[in-house]
Structure 1
Amino acid sequence: MEILRKVTESIKRHRLLSNGEAVLVAVSGGPDSVALLHILNGLREELGLHLEVAHLHHGIRGEEAKEDARFVAAMAERLGIHFHLKKVNVTQLRLAAGKGNLEQLARGERHRFFIEVARERNINKVATAHTLDDQAETVLMWVLRGCGMTGLGGMSPIRPMEGTNDDVLLIRPLLGVSKDEVLEFLRDRRIDYRVDRTNQDTKLLRNWIRQRWLPQLKERVDAQLPSRLAQEAELIRDEDAFLESLARRDLERIRGPRGMDRGLFLQLNRAMQRRVLRLWIEETRGHLRGIDLAHIDELLKLIEGRTPQSRLAIPGGWELLREYETLRLEKRSRSRKRLCYSYEIQIGRELEIPEASMTIRSEYIAPPLRSLPQDFAEAVFDATALPTTLVIRNFRRGDRFMPLGMKGHKKVKDLFIEKKVPRSVRETLPLLSADREILWITGYGRSEIGKIHPQTSSILRLTALPLTC
């Protein structure tokens, strides 16, 4: 039959299955999934496949859902295929759904169940029965909702299941087969199937497209419209995959251990900026649920704006932080407490500052000093000009110091702004304090107080080093 040829061709072309592979077939009891199971069962010997069946009884349709489960269980038994059933508490499901989409919630439950069974049974392929018509409906639905290339590309024949780190793959062997071909296959083989009456409810967008819009388009525009839409979707997926590879390359180039380089990001083409942002969010959060074009454009406004330090919340409890020329994605904290630490220095001993991931090394050295420190990661003082108690602590509001070479005082906060020190760094940065006077801001500045002069008889040298495990 033509349907068998198409499925076999799709399996080979998209490398959906290998000889001897185990496959978990998702079967609802409807015509598409019943046809898929029988087609794969027919290929079982030829390809040496090990098949198992999974069915989620979500109970949304009451007694009909029970009948669906019994029907699929009996069919799997007749075919000699191992059957997995999970029942979901419909009351809890509805409570969890709230005002949200119950069908979408049920879909999420199904996918989690499939992943659970696949991992438990050491199966890395889950087969679903999406057809050519489903592909056309998906593309039209995304057109109505508004989307980028990823949406217009529709469903892929093979992809990793969400949240699985690629160890469980979703395959769609019927994606090149029409609904009419499925029904003809079942009719010719006299195979029974279940009918879900909720699929007739045109209040749901997908059902309205399936029952009303798509038939009208086929009648008025082109009877082969589903095939044409599927072909366009495949072309778009190929181009989308290529552009995604370019975005991944750019992301790796402009992202470092401390975050993304804002300047390099702004050099990208606008279209690539959006892709890089989406990819960065997806890699960081693990998914893109809840992220749409409006969110991406708001993030772009923050990145391009004149405010050097700002943040913007994104769905899922995350936020984008802009700290001058560095961009970071972080988990949002509900109860963020202000950090406060203070350690007394014991000269000659290394002082670990875990809050700043730094170690402060202190030592007395005899003059003369061969050369002054090249940067503020090291500071030298006239030891006799300092009090006996020296403290390393973090920044406090109102902190001031007398910059080297100046007579008057300056706010430490103003120095932070001039040096473009990110807020996240300001909070943990170690400062040397003595009698409420700031003597050293590690890495950024030091005080006029305690300056070395020709009469200095004892020198205190302090060095800030990264904390090593």
Structure 2
Amino acid sequence: MFQAVDELIKKFNMIAPGQTIVVGVSGGPDSMALLHYLCSLRESLRLTIVASHVDHQLRGKESQEDLAFVAAYCRQWDVPFSGKAIDVAAYKKQQQLTSTQVAARECRYAFFKEVMASYHADALALAHHGDDQIETMLMRMTRGSSSGALAGIAAVRPFHTGVLIRPFLGITKEEIEHYCKVHSFAVRQDATNDLDDYTRNRFRHYVLPFLKKENPNVHKRFQVMSETISEDEAYMIERTEEQMKKAILVQNEQEVQVSVSTYLHMPIPLQKRAITLILNYLYKQTPSSLSSVHKESFLALLNSDHPSGQLHFPQALHVVRSYDMCSLHFLSAEQPSAYEQKLFEDQVVDVPGGTLSFELKKDIPYEQKGKDVFVCDVKSVILPLTVRTRKPGDRMIINALGGTRKVKDIFIDEKVDRTKRDQWPILVDGSGAILWIPNVRHAVIPQSDKTEQWVVLQFQNSCQDV
């Protein structure tokens, strides 16, 4: 056993001389063996070992006794001890979680972080072993997980102020139990491990024995496969990050925008990993309700022949595609409100995306042309003019015969980003007739042969989006 553990520690550079290591100890054979083993290295490697235990308050007096048991052994082995009782059931209710196991894990890992910070620890050591690795990988294959998750349990990964290490991944449960007997120390047994109520237990009781019968060293094969998948995935993630730099248009804590065409130009394996990276960036802590279905829906939205569409992800993450742009952003509690403001001569007003100026001129401004300028005979419109947001049923005159088209359809025709349409400025006259949609389209307005004064409006962009 020592040889397999020592080899894994060396292979992943888990432990360095002089480090402080926090050990998660439940009182069961796995964690007690890990604590005992690391204590045996204290003198030779000048290690500081700290034991950490959480009473999840799910098994009444039994879990209280677990805490007292671990504390007693720590006194006997001269190990600093940090223990805490946490009402996991209350936490689960407060956080609206569906899984007790997920709630317990979140509480436990939060406490481990506290202990690491308190002792300025370099690492957190947990006692997951080779059988746990097999169970985890099979469960994820059965449930359906991302390619990276199929690697199962990582031997080393970043955690809080240091790293999380699992020195026992190269050995089995049977070897650990033998170690406990050889060194003659007591352990606690959790009766829930014998129940078939949990998925992991069913794999442990029915699938694992079959695999071990076929190959007693199956845990070694699974560990090799785990490391291979992890290495391949690390390379693919690196390639994805390189390609994503070309596709990302906007990136901040509240929103990521991507170019649809550039995104779809990436190989499909990179596309699948890219959405995972984006969601990890935005969520920080991935919600349990997020699944592969959401990622598949995102890719389907980008590949759709329809130029626009939207999806709703957990925690108010809104996905909106508008032509070649797709935005993933959190909906704020305060959504932009509609606005309406009258315009007066020689006035400049702020509107979303820029400013709007209004002048009356005697001479026609031939030099002022384009979709960012509106010019017409003052007698062709009814003052005062007003700039406002769009309203249901808005229509604009688009030809000399008086034919109209819905503003909604004009936005679609001109490929206006759908996330900006509700705030886009629209100019109307005193009768309510729509005269102009800045940077989009002019209404067809009859002009007088004898124009004495011209209405001149100009829209000045403050960004490239409007």
Within-5 A mapping of 1:67-466:
67-89=65-87, 92=90, 100-123=98-121, 125-161=123-159, 167=161, 169-219=163-213, 221-257=214-250, 259-288=257-286, 289-331=288-330, 339-353=337-351, 356-363=352-359, 367=363, 369=365, 371-373=367-369, 375-382=370-377, 386-403=381-398, 408-435=403-430, 436-449=432-445, 457=453, 460-466=456-462
Q: Deviations over 1:306-364 (max 9, x none)?
A: 4333222334443422223222223357x8878311122344443223xx243334456
Q: Deviations over 1:102-144 (max 9, x none)?
A: 2332122212222343345544532211112211221122233
Q: Which residue of 1 aligns with 2:253?
A: none
From the superposition, tell whether residues 455 and 120 of structure 1 become closer, same or farther in structure 2 (CA, over 3 Å). Answer: farther
CA distance in 2, matches of 1:387, 1:43: 89
Q: Which secondary structure does the structure 1 equivalent of 2:391 belong to?
A: coil
Q: Which secondary structure does the structure 2 equivalent of 1:462 belong to?
A: strand
Q: Deviations over 1:234-264 (max 9, x none)?
A: 1111112211222222333212127222222
1:192 partner amino acid: A
Q: Which secondary structure does the structure 1 equivalent of 2:22 belong to?
A: strand
CA distance in 2, matches of 1:57, 1:259: 44
CA distance in 2, matches of 1:359, 1:399: 22
Q: Which secondary structure does the structure 1 equivalent of 2:153 belong to?
A: coil
- Shift, 1:57, TM fit: 0.4
2:187 partner amino acid: Y
From the superposition, tell whether residues 448 and 75 of structure 1 become closer, same or farther in structure 2 (CA, over 3 Å). Answer: same
1:111 partner amino acid: Y
From the superposition, tell whether residues 210 and 371 of structure 1 become closer, same or farther in structure 2 (CA, over 3 Å). Answer: same
Report if aligned partners of 1:55, 1:84 keep a CA contact under 8 Å in 2. Answer: yes
From the superposition, tell whether residues 186 and 366 of structure 1 become closer, same or farther in structure 2 (CA, over 3 Å). Answer: farther
CA distance in 2, matches of 1:453, 1:218: 96
- Shift, 1:418, TM fit: 0.6
From the superposition, tell whether residues 409 and 313 of structure 1 become closer, same or farther in structure 2 (CA, over 3 Å). Answer: closer
- Shift, 1:168, TM fit: 5.2
- Shift, 1:155, TM fit: 0.9
Report if aligned partners of 1:136, 1:226 keep a CA contact under 8 Å in 2. Answer: yes
From the superposition, tell whether residues 323 and 119 of structure 1 become closer, same or farther in structure 2 (CA, over 3 Å). Answer: farther
RMSD over aligned CA atoms reads: 3.2
Structure 1 unmatched runs, 5+: none
- Shift, 1:18, TM fit: 4.0
CA distance in 2, matches of 1:35, 1:216: 26
CA distance in 1, matches of 2:409, 2:400: 17
From the superposition, tell whether residues 388 and 203 of structure 1 become closer, same or farther in structure 2 (CA, over 3 Å). Answer: closer
CA distance in 1, matches of 2:322, 2:90: 43
Report if aligned partners of 1:310, 1:321 keep a CA contact under 8 Å in 2. Answer: yes
From the superposition, tell whether residues 12 and 365 of structure 1 become closer, same or farther in structure 2 (CA, over 3 Å). Answer: farther
- Shift, 1:153, TM fit: 0.8
Report if aligned partners of 1:26, 1:128 keep a CA contact under 8 Å in 2. Answer: yes
Q: Which secondary structure does the structure 2 equivalent of 1:350 belong to?
A: strand
CA distance in 1, matches of 2:437, 2:342: 16
CA distance in 1, matches of 2:37, 2:240: 39
CA distance in 2, matches of 1:247, 1:127: 31
- Shift, 1:422, TM fit: 2.9
Question: Percent identity between the aligned chains?
Answer: 27
CA distance in 2, matches of 1:94, 1:342: 47
CA distance in 2, matches of 1:450, 1:43: 92
TM-score, normalised with respect to structure 1:
0.86
Moved more, 6-15 or 60-69: 6-15
Report if aligned partners of 1:311, 1:320 keep a CA contact under 8 Å in 2. Answer: yes
CA distance in 2, matches of 1:19, 1:453: 93
Structure 2 unmatched runs, 5+: 251-255
- Shift, 1:208, TM fit: 2.2
CA distance in 2, matches of 1:249, 1:307: 28
Moved more, 129-138 or 205-214: 205-214
CA distance in 2, matches of 1:462, 1:453: 23
Q: Which residue of 2 aligns with 1:16?
A: 14
From the superposition, tell whether residues 337 and 173 of structure 1 become closer, same or farther in structure 2 (CA, over 3 Å). Answer: same
Moved more, 239-248 or 228-237: 239-248
Q: Which secondary structure does the structure 1 equivalent of 2:234 belong to?
A: helix
CA distance in 2, matches of 1:452, 1:53: 89
CA distance in 2, matches of 1:67, 1:446: 79
CA distance in 1, matches of 2:204, 2:61: 25
2:415 partner amino acid: K
CA distance in 1, matches of 2:450, 2:113: 74
From the superposition, tell whether residues 255 and 90 of structure 1 become closer, same or farther in structure 2 (CA, over 3 Å). Answer: closer
1:230 partner amino acid: Q
Q: Deviations over 1:190-219 (max 9, x none)?
A: 232222221121332212222332122211
Report if aligned partners of 2:170, 2:219 keep a CA contact under 8 Å in 1. Answer: no
- Shift, 1:94, TM fit: 7.0
2:142 partner amino acid: L
- Shift, 1:291, TM fit: 3.1
Report if aligned partners of 1:361, 1:465 keep a CA contact under 8 Å in 2. Answer: no
- Shift, 1:458, TM fit: 5.0
Report if aligned partners of 1:366, 1:459 keep a CA contact under 8 Å in 2. Answer: no
- Shift, 1:394, TM fit: 0.8
Instruction: Report the count of equivalent residues.
Output: 457
From the superposition, tell whether residues 319 and 411 of structure 1 become closer, same or farther in structure 2 (CA, over 3 Å). Answer: closer
CA distance in 2, matches of 1:331, 1:323: 17
1:55 aligns with 2:48: no
From the superposition, tell whether residues 365 and 6 of structure 1 become closer, same or farther in structure 2 (CA, over 3 Å). Answer: farther
CA distance in 2, matches of 1:360, 1:239: 55
2:390 partner amino acid: F
CA distance in 2, matches of 1:378, 1:13: 68
2:462 partner amino acid: P
- Shift, 1:457, TM fit: 4.8
